Amino acid sequence: MNSNELNLDEEIKKFHLPRWNEIPEIDLYIDQVVSLLQNYLSNYIKSDNEKDNNIITKTMINNYVKHGVVKAPVNKKYSKEHIAYLFVIFILKQIYSIDEISKLIKLAIKTSPVDIAYNRFCSELEKAIKMTFTGESYINNDKLSKEQYLLRNVVQSFANKLFVQKTFLKITEK
C-alpha cells in the first residue's frame, strides 16, 4: 500500500459529521456557517467552480433560503436546525437536484423530529462511506422500514460517488 492510499484510508476513517449536540448552540452569522460547513466538508465535496476551492458560499445558502429549502434566518443568524439542513443539502447536492433534496428532507422530518432525522442521516452516511471504502456490505436490510431503506440508498449514492472520485478519478489526474 502506498502513502497516498494510507492517507486516503486515514481521511475516510476520520470522516465525521457533527451530530445534533455537536452543532453550536448559539446562532451563527452566515460567514460563520460557511466556515463551519467548509471545515467539515471540504475534503469530501468537490467545488462546482474550478477556479476556487469554495464548496460553500453565502450566495448558495441565500439561494436555498430564497427557494424555501431552508427557512429564513432570524435576525441574520442561523440556528442549529438551519445548520443541520445545510449539511444535508451540501452533501446531497452532489447527487440530487435541490427539488429532490427538499422532498427527501420533508419525508425524513415527517417520520422523525429534525434532530433524530439529522443524527440518523449522519450515522448512515458515515457507515456507508466506511463500508464503501472497505468493501464491506450492509447487513439486516430486511429489518429496515421503507424510509430507512430509502435513507440507506440515498447516502450510499453519495458514498459511491465519493469512492470513485477519491480512488479512480484522483489516480487519472496524475
pTM, rounded to two decimals? 0.87
Res 78: pLDDT: 98
* Range 20-43 average pLDDT: 95
Res 142: pLDDT: 65
Q: Which of 121, 92, 98, 101 is nearest to 23 (CA)?
A: 121
45: confidence class by pLDDT, cuts 50, 70, 90? confident
Res 32: pLDDT: 97
* Range 26-45 average pLDDT: 94
pLDDT over threshold 60, residue 3: no
- Residue 161 has φ and ψ, to the nearest 5°, of -65, -45
Res 88: pLDDT: 97
**In Å, what is the CA distance from 9 to each residue of 42, 79, 119, 122?**
17, 33, 24, 19
Domain boundaries, the chain: 3-173
CB 58 within 8 A of CB 34: yes
* Range 128-142 average pLDDT: 79
pLDDT over threshold 50, residue 33: yes
Res 145: pLDDT: 84
- Each residue of 47-78: pLDDT tens digit? 655 556 678 999 999 999 999 999 999 999 99
Rounded to a whole number of angstroms, the CA Rg of the chain reads 16
CA distance 3 to 104: 38
CA distance 99 to 94: 13
